[in-house]
Amino acid sequence: MEQMINQAGLGDILAKVKDGERLSVDDGARLYRSPDLLAVGSLANLVRERKNGDNAYFIYNQHVNYSNICTNLCKFCAFGKPKESEQAYEMTVEQVKAKIRERLHEPITEVHVVGGIHPELPYSYYLDMLRGIKEVRPEIHIQAFTGVEIAHLADLSGQSLEKTLRDLVDAGLGSIPGGGAEVFSPRIRKLTCEKKLSGEGWLEVAKTAHRLGLRTNATMLYGHIETIEERLEHLDLLRQAQDETNGFLTFIPLAFHPKNTELADLSKTSGIEDLKNIAVSRLFLDNFPHIKGYWVMIGPKLAQVALSFGADDMDGTVKEELITHMAGGESGGHMADTELIRLIREAGRKPIERDTLYNVIKEY
């Protein structure tokens, strides 16, 4: 392995990885540009095994997308619709509760709740939704609302981020998913999601949540018009934020799906690109405990391979996730826990069912 890495001209990075030394932005750019995927993957695997051994985590979870009505209408998104659109929908709190009730017979431990930036739903709707979910399934962990939604809720309530987060926690919020981060670069935001909360604003929500003791995830939407330097700037800002607060649990690189978006003329990401993003993020984000290969976006087969390229988590059973589906995702929404276990075992890893905060529920 050392020989392969040296031959790829990455010997100095191997030395840093072995010494646990932080990689620079320049190192990150060399890794992204290296044509030697196996060398980059082997480096990432060293970090992956040092941090998580052979463990490969999954969760028994459910997604609820309560409404696709959105005022931001980002160019890379096929999910958000204007209120007048024929495809626009919104669920009542009762309908959200019914979605939870439908699956009470399954051993689900987490519900992932996200939606668009709705122009009219009142603040009370969001609190009632959290309380309603807990009424139906009191022990479930609610991972809800991207940083963009949280900032919108603070605006709606006329309160500080801190007070808003406290209200949400009192109503049942357990943690915050990683969506809405996209690429922090103002250039990319201006070109693809001008109306969305800024990168700075997104990071402020995450850091405020961490200070209150909430754990959050982070994402990066790659494979559209961003440059390698913009990806690294994004990763660097996340790494700095994590140095400050240590509240991020998992980083999830999200592969851009062009279908039905305003960027539909762009190509889908390639397998090489997907694995590179997993590997470089594992190497660069030295202070993040977990890297997720989200099977819904990169497909179960590649998510399985990603377990040898830096990823230690596959996400979970999911079902009814609409954001990828609307943008042409081909993986289907649901995977049985037995299938996740099989994929992990075949990859030579140890399947571990976890809860949201990575407490072990069952080792296989």
Binding residues (CB under 6 A) for ligand V47: these are 76-78, 146, 177-180, 182, 217, 219, 221, 250, 252, 254, 256-257, 261, 294, 297, 315, 323, 327
With CB atoms as reference, the residue minimizing the distance to ligand V47 is 179
Q: Which is nearer to ligand V47, 125 or 184 (CB)?
A: 184
CB of 2 to ligand V47, least distance (A): 34
Q: Which is nearer to ligand V47, 43 or 296 (CB)?
A: 296
Three-state SS sequence of 58-82: EECEEEEECECECCCCCCCCCCCEC
**Which 3 state secondary structure label does DSSP give 176?**
strand
Q: b/e map of 280-301 (b: 16 or more CB within 10 Å)?
A: bbbbbbbebbbbbbbbbbbbbe
CB of 58 to ligand V47, least distance (A): 12
| DSSP string over 224-290 | SS--HHHHHHHHHHHHHHHHHH--EEEEEEEE---TTSTTTTSPPPPHHHHHHHHHHHHHH-TT-SE
CB of 226 to ligand V47, least distance (A): 12
Q: Which is nearer to ligand V47, 132 or 178 (CB)?
A: 178
Please choose, from the candidates 344, 338, 341, the residue with its C-alpha nearest in 3D space to the C-alpha of residue 303.
344
Cα separation, 147 vs 150, in Å, equals 5
CB of 328 to ligand V47, least distance (A): 8
Q: What residue type is assigned to position 271 of the chain?
A: G
Q: Which is nearer to ligand V47, 13 or 114 (CB)?
A: 114
Q: Which is nearer to ligand V47, 38 or 91 (CB)?
A: 91
Q: Which is nearer to ligand V47, 73 or 169 (CB)?
A: 73
Q: Which is nearer to ligand V47, 78 or 343 (CB)?
A: 78
CB of 250 to ligand V47, least distance (A): 6
Residues comprising the chain, all counted: 364
Is residue 154 within a helix (H) or strand (E), and if so which, with residue range? helix 147-157
Cα separation, 196 vs 198, in Å, equals 6
| DSSP string over 293-326 | --HHHH-HHHHHHHTTTT--EEEE-B---HHHHH
CB of 186 to ligand V47, least distance (A): 17
CB of 296 to ligand V47, least distance (A): 7
If one counts every other C-beta atom within 10 angstroms of the C-beta of residue 124, the result is 12
Q: Which is nearer to ligand V47, 197 or 283 (CB)?
A: 197
CA distance to 105, 165, 210, 325, 342, per residue, from 337 (Å): 14, 32, 30, 20, 9
CB of 260 to ligand V47, least distance (A): 8
CB of 253 to ligand V47, least distance (A): 10
Q: What residue type is assigned to position 167 of the chain?
A: D
Report the side by side order of strands in the sheet with 61-65. Answer: 61-65, 110-114, 141-144, 173-175
Q: Which is nearer to ligand V47, 27 or 149 (CB)?
A: 149
Cα separation, 364 vs 352, in Å, equals 6
